[in-house]
Amino acid sequence: MSAQVRAVAGSGVPLLAVEGLAKVYPTGKKALGGVDVVIDRPQLVAVIGSSGAGKSTFIRCINRLVEPTAGSVRLNGEDIVALDRKGLRAARRRIGMIFQEYNLVERLSVMQNLLSGRLGYVGLFAALRYRFPPEDIQAAFALLDRVGLDGYHDQRADALSGGQRQRVGIARALMQRPELLLLDEPTASLDPKTSRQIMRLVRELVAERQTPAIINIHDVALARAHADRIIGMKDGLIVFDAEASALTDAALTRIYGEEDWSRPQDADDEPAPAAAAPGSLSLIS
Ligand SMILES: Nc1ncnc2c1ncn2[C@@H]1O[C@H](COP(=O)(O)OP(=O)(O)O)[C@@H](O)[C@H]1O
Ligand SMILES: [Mg+2]
């Protein structure tokens, strides 16, 4: 646990401070128009908004999977946007990322997937060759138990159900002992009951591990039921930011416009060009 870094949080530096974060894609599309968010305690923050509102761009600019055009992202005081490649690699190990498509290595066992998470974002080859210290293996077993996958360590990832795969994704992200969790539509490929179970697990983990999480989610009811705080985005801007109980019908209309937000939206967002890769469907079980 990075006790040193966490101690900073106690001295008044917010866990996360995003300021003036903006993104213009090479196409000229202004996806993020200058966003400010401060998270000063471990809480579950849900980001809602119509397809194309900028939710994924926002979350991906935080760990620079998408390179921001302007602004700063301070994680326990350190500006991630200002880091060079080496600094960024180190900073990314402090941020756990969980995706809709799970991003597991299909042919590897659950345990191998978890241990590869300990290395940050390194390749498969390194993950296979690396000899992991016993405390990492112990931590992996404990996490598997915690996410409800006790006994699954030898199963191949491609033999698991969607819900089980997402539990592996969550456990893998937690192997890094992150200071922040980012989740981009983690339940979008799951059925409603499994989605609720995954949301409950995430909420419990935020509290247990005192780790803040930002979760993009298009399901308003799920966000309302589980998040501490809700951020509403529209056209690349934040138009709502308050505790979940303050999300009134008027606020929903501000976020979604005249769209009927009371009905579930399509299962997936309008795909960003990069997400439209053929074969991505095969990951949905
Ligand atoms: N790689 C990209 N290149 C160009 N435009 C993009 C790219 N990714 C996303 N966009 C556009 O930026 C806007 C915000 O997209 P996104 O952040 O994916 O929104 P959301 O996650 O809320 O659906 C959309 O208009 C989308 O089409
Ligand atoms: Mg998205």
The closest residue, in CA terms, to atom 12 on ligand 1 is 31
Q: How far is CA 133 from CA 130, 136, 199, in A?
A: 9, 5, 31
- Pocket, ligand 1, Cβ cutoff 6 A: 25, 27, 29, 31, 49, 51-57, 269, 272-274
Q: How far is the CA of 10 from the centre of ligand 2 (A)?
A: 33
Tokens found for residue 19: 């300021």
Phi and psi of 192, rounded to 5°? -60, -40
Q: Delimit the domains of the chain by residue range.
A: 42-65+84-258
Give which of 57, 116, 121 is closest to 89, Cα–Cα: 121
Helix (H/G/I), strand (E/B), else coil: 2: coil
Give the three-state DSSP class for 27: coil
- Specify the pLDDT at position 104: 87
Task: Identify any residues that bridge with 32 across adjacent strands, giving them in sequence order.
Answer: 23
d(CA 272, CA 140): 33
- Distances in Å between the Cα of 177 and the Cα atoms of 12, 41, 48, 180, 230 are 22, 17, 26, 9, 24
Tokens in use for 221? 């009811």
What is the architecture, at CATH level 2, of domain 42-65+84-258? 3-Layer(aba) Sandwich (3.40)
User: In tens digits, what is the pLDDT along the chain, a chain of 285 residues?
Assistant: 444 445 454 568 999 999 999 999 999 999 999 999 999 999 999 999 999 999 999 999 999 999 999 999 999 999 999 999 999 999 999 999 998 887 888 888 999 898 876 655 445 555 566 567 778 889 999 999 999 999 999 999 999 999 999 999 999 999 989 999 999 999 999 999 999 999 999 999 999 999 999 999 989 999 999 999 999 999 999 999 999 999 999 999 999 987 655 555 544 444 444 433 333 332 222
For residue 150, report the distance from its CA to the centre of ligand 1, in Å: 38
Q: What number does the ligand 1 atom closest to the CA of 270 have?
A: 23
Angle between helices 110-117 and 134-146 (to 10 degrees): 110
d(C-alpha 156, C-alpha 96), whole Å: 22
Count the neighbouring beta carbons within 10 Å of the beta carbon of residue 119.
16
What was the pLDDT predicted at 285?
Answer: 28
Bridging pattern class, strands 213-216 and 70-75: unpaired
SS3 42: coil
Q: Which residues contact 246 (CB under 8 A, 6 or more apart)?
A: 230
Alpha carbons within 13 A on the beta-carbon side of 57: 30
Termini Cα distance of the chain:
34
Q: What is the pLDDT of residue 227?
A: 98
Cα within 13 Å of Cα(159), Cβ side: 9
Inter-residue contact 203 to 186 (CB < 8 Å): no
Q: Say what the pLDDT of residue 224 is.
A: 96
Distance from C-alpha of 89 to C-alpha of 105, rounded to nearest angstrom: 20
Other Cβ atoms closer than 10 A to 199? 24
Residue 49 CA, closest ligand 1 atom number: 22
Between the CA of 17 and the centroid of ligand 2 the distance, in Å, is: 21
Cα–Cα distance, 4 to 163 (Å, whole number): 35
Tokens at 194, concatenated: 């499994």
pLDDT (0 to 100) of residue 102: 76
The Cα–Cα gap between 51 and 54 comes to 8
Both tokens of 204, joined, read: 């419990």
Whole-angstrom Cα distance, residue 59 to residue 5?
Answer: 22
Pocket test for ligand 1, best of 48, 56, 57, 216 (most atoms within 8 A of CB): 57
